[in-house]
Chains A and B, each alone.
Chain A
Amino acid sequence: MNDLYKTSHLQYEYVPFPELGHGSQFHTYDTHDGRVLKLPLTKEETYVVVSKRRHNMNPLSSKEIAPLDTRIHTIINGKARIPAMLNHSFYNAKDFLSILGNPTIIDAEKVLPEDRPGKEWGAGRVIYTQDKLTMVGDMLKGFGEQPTLKAGDISKIKQIIDLYIEQTYKLWSYGYADYVFKLGDTGFDTAGNFVLADLGEYSSDPTFMKKALADKRWLHSIIPDKIDFPQIPAQLHDYFAATLNNAFTIEQFMSRWRTQHHCSSCKATDDNVISAFIAAKVAEIDFVDRW
């Protein structure tokens, strides 16, 4: 129903951009032109958001649960990786960006003030605009209050799960992957395209991704304790778990990884020992700061 209230007809210079919501990385504002503006949370804001979330997941041992500071560091690192991903010199960049809602980076240095105590962005000084979406997360929250689903609704949620797999595969083929697997962070644009919306939780590191796949993080969407994951209705738990467990295997991942990655910058350094060393070291950092 976004198009009902699209206000691109407004000629006035300053129309308030209402906040549509925020996660742990970005505030999202409606710019009334079919797009949203994403402004990064400061470290302090992130601290507030993250400290409110519970992390009592069974699959993670207490040793594995990262302390709060490390989690914040991870979240900021996720933001810092966005410009490199969006500006990667793909020959078919348009197709790649369309999977992500056609994001466009805005020069943060021109608009964000310098860090000062109590108001720091650190490495996460990233601002971008993106297509406005009808979020799957909002829709799932609505279903949380319904005791049973109609057959038609079940069928539609199954279709969304299938679309999620399809788009995830497409992203893998470009050499990027979402390591959080949050179905709620996807949405539909006005043309009906299924879009992966949350850019701050992607990796281009296959070794790291294999670990993420082994952890089966998508199952957080069917564990009610995970309050930061919009929950899949109970009637679909079995379908969701079986379908994604089957789709997101290391074998499936490896068979698709970078198959469509055609760019002007990677090839020259593919065999470069130093590049490989740097990639390995960076991956090592990922292991430390993400898990």
Chain B
Amino acid sequence: MTQQPLPSTAPLDGTLYRYYFVGHGAQFRVYSVYTLDDKPTGRVIKVPLDFEETKSSIIAPLKLVAQYNTEEELDELADKRTREVMQFKHDMPNLMQGIMGEDKTFMSKLGNMKVLQAPIPAPVKSGPSAYYLPIFFTQDYVMTLDAYLQHFRLATISYTRDLDLRTIKMLKQVIRQMIALNFLIWEYGIFEFVFKPENLGIRFSKHGTVELIWMDLAEHITDLEKAEKIIGEKRWLHPLMPHKIDYQFMPTVLHDYYTTACSRAFTVDNLRKHWRKRCIRAESKYARELKMKELLSYSHKQSVTHWVNRHNLSVTLYRGFQKHTIDDMDIPIADLELLLRDRHRANPPENSFREEQIERHLARSKPLVRLLFPLPTHENNRQKANNS
């Protein structure tokens, strides 16, 4: 993992660790975890937002898209949306159970996410035996894909950025990996339905290769029929739409390659091809094993049990935690309480946002087609070099 710069916000000093706030979404506040001597642990902790925090994080984008007549109506819509968003968070442990948790490659693509549930004593007024039971997650600390892509803002103007061949190759690889990450989760019967590049993280190897991971997979469904409908909506184009302010506007230089690659990849045919592929493989494998046991059983009782187990694989294979999916950082309860109390944090400022706004503005004011510059190919670059 690439060493991340120390975040610029004031840290929270815990008992064993120091926590730097790095940002929040609609579900979690994220803190990078350092030792008390400011050495990075390479992990972040995701602290669940409570109802009020969630509501305040969804209200601004909701205002822009919701139809309402009065503030009360908006408030009601916000409450409903907040409950939906909070529910996604409760489904997250399902991503780490059974065969998914057992698949270390898959878990690595989820940033080695681990679950941490701890009973936190409630305030005294709730009674002496009252607890909250929030679910925290820890995960590898990686750069957000969004932050990485900021480096390619206005790259269509050669005076602002110059893309070398290696970078172009890497960017293409990034887009291919974005697609591959979606295919991977489809193979476990999971469909991420927002297609936000912000939900992905990126890490770099010593050899300069990149690896994309899912940083936030909370907004997912497991219903193929619904997934097919969403595919029809082509939501992956939202990051290219300047009016979609709930998405980071994708650097214009990527638009053409991204659109072509995604439109070719995100089809109903491909969805069906990949859907539950790994689940079916695992179910068949265990079914074969149980069938053998069933046939070789001496007693009727054992034979029936194996048969019932075989027919319940679609349920039982997706349950249970593996050791490596349970957090092992030994974060003390007092630290967790401290993190829970650290509410109402605003996202830290990012310097590159101005260029994002400029690109979005340019896309708004000019016909989109003129902005769809192709990601420079090898030939483009050679031509450019000759010209200069």
CA distance A110 to B127 in the complex (A): 12
Proximity bits, A124-141, B CB within 8 Å = 1, else 0: 000000000011101100
A108–chain B nearest beta-carbon distance, Å? 12
B300 touches A159 (CB 8 A): yes
Interface residues of A in 1-22 (CB under 8 A from B): 1-2, 4-7, 9-10, 12, 14-16, 18, 20
Q: A7-B320, A7-B321, A192-B301 given as contacts; is B135 within 8 A of A16 (CB)?
A: yes
- One of B62-70, B112-120, B265-273, B376-384 contacting the partner: B112-120
- A-B pairs with beta carbons under 8 A, tally: 101
A18 touches B97 (CB 8 A): yes
A1 touches B307 (CB 8 A): no
Q: A15-B117, A142-B312, A163-B304 given as contacts; is B319 within 8 A of A20 (CB)?
A: yes
Q: A16-B93, A113-B127 given as contacts; is B311 within 8 A of A1 (CB)?
A: no
Q: A139-B308, A142-B311, A192-B302 given as contacts; is B286 within 8 A of A16 (CB)?
A: no
A261 contacts B by Cβ under 8 Å: no
B305 contacts A by Cβ under 8 Å: yes
A47 contacts B by Cβ under 8 Å: no
CA distance A156 to B307 in the complex (A): 7
B313 contacts A by Cβ under 8 Å: yes
Q: A111-B129, A113-B130 given as contacts; is B93 within 8 A of A18 (CB)?
A: yes
Interface centre among A12, A111, A152, A193 (most CB of B within 10 A): A12
Contact partner of B312 (CB less than 8 A), chosen from A12, A134, A163, is: A134
- Chain B residue contacts of A134, Cβ below 8 A: 305, 308-309, 312, 316
- Chain B residue contacts of A79, Cβ below 8 A: none
A30 contacts B by Cβ under 8 Å: yes
Chain A minimum-CB-distance residue to B101: A5
Q: A1-B313, A14-B119, A113-B129 given as contacts; is B308 within 8 A of A160 (CB)?
A: yes
Proximity bits, B292-305, A CB within 8 Å = 1, else 0: 00000001111111
CA distance A7 to B307 in the complex (A): 23
B109–chain A nearest beta-carbon distance, Å? 20
A32 touches B320 (CB 8 A): yes
A2 touches B314 (CB 8 A): no
B144 contacts A by Cβ under 8 Å: no
Chain B minimum-CB-distance residue to A13: B118
B317 contacts A by Cβ under 8 Å: yes
Contact partner of B308 (CB less than 8 A), chosen from A111, A152, A188, is: A188
- Chain B residue contacts of A187, Cβ below 8 A: 308
B304 touches A192 (CB 8 A): yes
DSSP majority for the A interface?
mixed
CA distance A9 to B321 in the complex (A): 11
- Chain B residue contacts of A192, Cβ below 8 A: 299, 301-302, 304-305
- Chain B residue contacts of A188, Cβ below 8 A: 304-305, 308-309
A16 touches B320 (CB 8 A): no
Chain A minimum-CB-distance residue to B127: A113
CA distance A4 to B313 in the complex (A): 11
B322 touches A12 (CB 8 A): no
CA distance A138 to B117 in the complex (A): 28
A143 contacts B by Cβ under 8 Å: yes
B315 contacts A by Cβ under 8 Å: yes
Q: A6-B320, A30-B319, A156-B304 given as contacts; is B117 within 8 A of A14 (CB)?
A: yes
Interface residues of B (CB under 8 A from A): 93-94, 97-98, 102, 115-119, 127, 129-130, 135, 286, 290, 299-305, 307-309, 311-317, 319-323, 326-328
A-B pairs with beta carbons under 8 Å apart, 27 shown: A1-B286, A2-B309, A2-B316, A4-B316, A5-B321, A7-B321, A7-B322, A12-B327, A14-B117, A14-B118, A15-B321, A18-B94, A30-B320, A32-B320, A32-B321, A111-B129, A134-B316, A139-B311, A142-B314, A143-B311, A153-B311, A156-B303, A156-B307, A188-B309, A192-B301, A192-B302, A193-B301
Interface residues of A (CB under 8 A from B): 1-2, 4-7, 9-10, 12, 14-16, 18, 20, 30, 32, 110-111, 113, 134-136, 138-139, 142-143, 152-153, 156, 159-160, 163, 187-188, 192-194
